[in-house]
Amino acid sequence: MEFAGVDPVADLIPIQPGQHYTMGGIDCNTEGETAVKGFYAAGEAACVSVHGANRLGGNSLLDTIVFGAIAGSNAVRYIQGESGKKGETALSDALSRAGQRIDAICKSDGNEVPADIKVALNKVMDNKVGIFRDASQLKEAIAEIKVLQDRYKRIKLNYTGKRANLSLEWALELKGSLDVAEAVIAGALAREESRGSHFRTDFPKRDDAVWLKHTVAYFTPEGSRLDYKPVHIGPFEPKERRY
């Protein structure tokens, strides 16, 4: 009642889409190993690829409990092993780069409000990169994301303190959201078929002959770079859903 100005006794409660899960994530194997040696991923941040293109209610339990234990154990063994001692300066170097990035954001004197960019990003993804997609909307969306990424370079925080700085936290999250949004759109535009929750109205049929493969997106300064890797078929051959 206070936030929406709606009395549920007399009025309908407005409903809008939300997200609690992203299908995909950091590419890793069943040991939690990624392409970066010594970097392990597990849980909803990772993509072990044991579920295909589905999103089932119990997937997160397997991702977190089973593969979390596996990745954690492997990470401990890596750190304790000889190979883990060769990059002792890696952490300090990473912390230094992170500090420089945070200082640059705090000192930025642009005229863009991060919250405004976030609202614009939400509208682009809701309106043009939903479940039902087509090439024209996806091309418009990726062009708009590029504009938002450029606007992000000119943000200014309303608070630059170092303690409990939610303004800084949200600005850092926004940068990641913009990069992920670009990767999602690029992958969706390239995949000219419909599969799982990805439905191209201009390519409504599933195409296993061409697209039975994983999309792997890499970050580059110029934008997302796409690559692909094969799907390892288990005892059950994937089939088109007919219900």
Q: Which two tokens stand for residue 224?
A: 């997302």
pLDDT digits 0-9 by tens, 164-218 = 999 999 999 999 999 999 999 999 999 999 988 899 999 999 999 999 999 999 9
pTM for the full predicted model: 0.84
Q: What does the block give as tokens for 108? A: 């930025």
Q: Is the pLDDT at 55 greater than 70, yes or no? A: no
CB 82 within 8 A of CB 45: no
Judge contact between 72 and 28, C-beta under 8 A: no
Residue 82 scores a pLDDT above 70 = no
Distance CA 57, CA 201 (A): 26
Residue-range domain boundaries for the chain:
1-84, 108-243
Please answer whether residues 189 and 149 qualify as being in contact, where contact means their C-beta atoms are separated by less than 8 angstroms. no
CA distances from 83 to 28, 86, 135 (A): 19, 6, 46
Half-sphere exposure of 23 (CA within 13 A, CB side): 17
pLDDT of residue 140: 98
Q: What is the mean pLDDT of the chain?
A: 89
Q: Tell me phi and psi for residue 46, to 5 degrees.
A: -100, 165
CATH 1.20.58.100 is right for the domain spanning 108-243 = yes
